Amino acid sequence: MEQKQNYFASNLKLLRQKYKMEQIDLANRLGRKSSSSVSEWEKGKYTPKAGVLNDIAKIFNISLSELMTKDLSKPSEDETETPQFRAIQRKAKSLSVEDQERLIQLMQLTFQDVLGGGDEDDHNF
């Protein structure tokens, strides 16, 4: 079985900088009094326990899988995706098919209202 590369250390530093956080800011949000753990994680010396990893993923609004195995320094397929957009996608996946269809209808109406009209292709998003 193929083992995925662990990108945690580099992703942590990248995300922290993207969110304009100092190591101590992240440490404090995780209930730590000093930044030494964050520094060690970013250097790849060790990886925090699962609960802390989940907390970090929540802080940066990404999945644990993305945090650990995706090279976030490479451009994603859609650079316009925001953390809020990804959060909406994750929540939508948990809805029933019927509720997903209702959500799509609401979104289509909202886009028509905001953007006016629309192209034929817009009906299949």
DSSP-derived 3-state class of residue 11: helix
Instruction: Round to whole Å and give the CA distance between 42 and 12.
Output: 6
The model's pLDDT over 69-97, given as tens digits with 9 standing for 90+, comes to 999 998 766 556 778 888 888 888 888 98
The domains located in the chain, with CATH, are: 8-69 (1.10.260.40), 83-124 (no CATH)
Overall pTM surpassing 0.95 (yes/no) = no
- Higher-pLDDT residue of 59 and 78 is 59
Distances (CA, A) of 77 to 72, 91, 96, 112: 11, 20, 27, 26
Can you tell me the distance from the alpha carbon of 113 to that of 125, in angstroms, rounded to the nearest whole number?
16
Whether 107 shows a pLDDT value over 80: the answer reads yes
pLDDT, tens digit, for every residue of 12-27?
A: 999 999 999 999 999 9
Burial class, 47, CB count within 10 angstroms (exposed 0-12 / middle 13-18 / buried 19+): middle
Under the banding of pLDDT at 50, 70 and 90, the label for residue 120 is low
What per-residue confidence (pLDDT) applies to 4?
60
Report the length, in residues, of the chain: 125
Tokens (6 digits) for 25: 């800011």
The residue whose two tokens read 């817009």 is 122
